[in-house]
Homo-oligomer: A and B are copies of this chain.
Amino acid sequence: MLKRLNHVAIAVTDLESATANYRDTLGARVSEPQALPEHGVTVVFVELDNTKIELLEPLGEGSPIAAFLEKNPSGGLHHVCYEVEDILAARDQLKAKGARVLGDGEPKTGAHGKPVLFLHPKDFNGTLVELEQI
């Protein structure tokens, strides 16, 4: 079912400083910041040779990463996103195996404009898993 690792998301409190870390200290290619108000984050993409890191800063009220940053005020690894070919088939297979899909179980349009689902961290070794249809 799993294909590529689409991205690793790192939640940060200060996107400018985090971007400088990756661009200037680690010497990576980084994008301009993109505000995604419908997702409650501003994102910078760190482009690696085989995948990307997404640096996420909260945007607006009720950001989905606000609670994480309250618990982890330095920031930290927030989730991993795996690509699948068919998100509805993936969801049905996961539910049949007893894994919990977050929300109402229907795919939403993710930050890249593709259908995504999030899986319950307690079912995946304490790791928040996003699935994205490619």
Listed in ascending order, the chain A residues whose CB lies under 8 Å from chain B are 1-5, 8, 10, 12, 18, 21-22, 24-28, 46, 48-51, 53, 55, 72, 74-80, 82-83, 93-94, 97-99, 121-127, 129
Contact = CB atoms under 8 A, between A and B. Distances in A.
A125 B76 contact: yes
Contacts of A8: 5, 8, 77, 80
Number of copies: 2
A105 to B, nearest CB: 16
Given A26-B82, A48-B82, A97-B25, A122 B74 contact: yes
Contacts of A99: 25
Contacts of A79: 77
